[in-house]
Amino acid sequence: MGVLMSRRQTVERVQKVSLAVSAFKDGLREQPSTRRRAEAGTTRQGTLEQEVQEGEEEASAGPSQPEESSASKAAWERLRDGRGVEPEEFDRANRFTPPAFIRPKRELHDDEPLDISLEQREQILNDEMCEICEVWTAESLFPCRICHRVYHDGCLRRMGYLQKDSAVEVTETAHTETGWSCYYCDNLNLLLTEEEMYSLMETLRNCKIIPGACLTLDDFLHYKHQVHKQQFERTMPEAQEEQAALQFNALDPDKKGHIEWQDFLSHESIQLLQKLRPQNALLRLLTPKERERARTAFLALDQDNDGFIGEGECCQARHTWFRKHQKEMLSCNVSISHVGPISEGSPASSRNGKSPEKILPATKQEETSIDWPGFLRENVAYILAARPNSAALHLQPPA
Residues 253 and 311 in one domain: no
Helices (H), the chain: 7-12, 14-29, 32-43, 48-61, 65-81, 153-158, 166-173, 194-206, 217-232, 238-251, 261-276, 279-283, 288-301, 311-320, 356-359, 372-385
Q: Quick check: is 215 in a domain?
A: yes
- Quick one: pLDDT at residue 385? 94
Amino acid identity of 64?
S
How far apart (Å, rounded) are the C-alpha atoms in residues 337 and 335?
5
Residues 393 and 317 in one domain: yes
> Residue 288 pLDDT > 70, yes or no?
yes
pLDDT digits (tens, 9 = 90+) for 160-212: 777 666 667 777 788 787 889 998 999 999 999 999 999 999 999 999 998 88
User: Could you please report the per-residue DSSP string of 30-62?
Assistant: T-HHHHHHHHHHHH---BHHHHHHHHHHHHHHS
Domain that holds residue 132: 128-186
- Quick one: pLDDT at residue 317? 83
Pick from 307, 375, 295: nearest CA to 123? 295
Residues 193 and 310 in one domain: no
Half-sphere exposure of residue 125, counting CA atoms within 13 Å on the CB side? 4
- Quick one: pLDDT at residue 175? 79
How far apart (Å, rounded) are the C-alpha atoms in residues 390 and 399?
22
- Quick one: pLDDT at residue 138? 67
pLDDT digits (tens, 9 = 90+) for 98-157: 666 888 999 888 889 899 999 888 888 899 899 888 888 766 888 999 999 999 888 888
Q: Quick check: is 135 in a domain?
A: yes
The mean predicted confidence, pLDDT, of the chain is: 75
Residues 180 and 197 in one domain: no
How far apart (Å, rounded) are the C-alpha atoms in residues 217 and 221?
6
- Quick one: pLDDT at residue 70? 73
Residues 213 and 171 in one domain: no
Q: Quick check: is 256 in a domain?
A: yes
Amino acid identity of 119?
E
Residues 256 and 200 in one domain: yes
Q: Quick check: is 300 in a domain?
A: yes
Segment 203-227 mean pLDDT: 93
Contact assessment for residue 250 and residue 388, using Cβ atoms and an 8 Å cutoff: no
Residues 90 and 228 in one domain: yes
Q: Which residues of 324-361 are buried (b: 16+ CB within 10 A; e: fewer)?
A: bbeeebeeeeeebebbbbbbebbbebeeeeeebeeebe
Pick from 101, 105, 88: nearest CA to 185? 101
User: Could you please report the per-residue DSSP string of 100-169?
Assistant: PP------TTTTS-----SSSPPP----SS-TTT----GGGEEEPSSSS-EEEHHHHHHTT---TTHHHH
- Quick one: pLDDT at residue 176? 82
Residues 179 and 306 in one domain: no
- Quick one: pLDDT at residue 191? 95
Of 186, 206, 236, which marks where a domain is finished? Answer: 186
Residues 238 and 308 in one domain: no
Among 186-200, 294-308, 338-352, the range scoring the smallest mean pLDDT is 338-352
Residues 250 and 375 in one domain: no
What are residue 371's phi and psi, to 5 degrees? -90, 180
Q: Quick check: is 149 in a domain?
A: yes
Residues 218 and 320 in one domain: no
Among 70-74, 282-286, 324-328, 387-391, the range scoring the smallest mean pLDDT is 324-328
pLDDT level of residue 326 (50, 70, 90 thresholds): very low
Residues 85 and 215 in one domain: yes
- Quick one: pLDDT at residue 214? 93
pLDDT digits (tens, 9 = 90+) for 11-39: 444 444 454 445 444 544 444 444 444 44
Of 137, 168, 186, which marks where a domain is finished? Answer: 186
- Structural domains of the chain, count: 3
Here the CATH number for the domain that contains residue 208 is 1.10.238
Q: Quick check: is 351 in a domain?
A: no
pLDDT digits (tens, 9 = 90+) for 348-397: 343 333 333 333 444 444 568 899 999 999 999 999 999 999 889 999 88
Amino acid identity of 314?
C
pLDDT level of residue 159 (50, 70, 90 thresholds): confident
Contact assessment for residue 137 and residue 152, using Cβ atoms and an 8 Å cutoff: yes
Here the CATH number for the domain that contains residue 170 is 3.30.40
- Quick one: pLDDT at residue 36? 44
How far apart (Å, rounded) are the C-alpha atoms in residues 180 and 161?
13
Q: Quick check: is 378 in a domain?
A: yes
pLDDT digits (tens, 9 = 90+) for 41-89: 444 445 665 655 655 554 444 444 444 467 777 777 777 777 654 444 4
Segment 295-307 mean pLDDT: 90
Q: Quick check: is 356 in a domain?
A: no
| Residue 212 φ/ψ region, left for φ over 0, alpha for ψ in the -120 to 50 degree band, beta for the rest | left
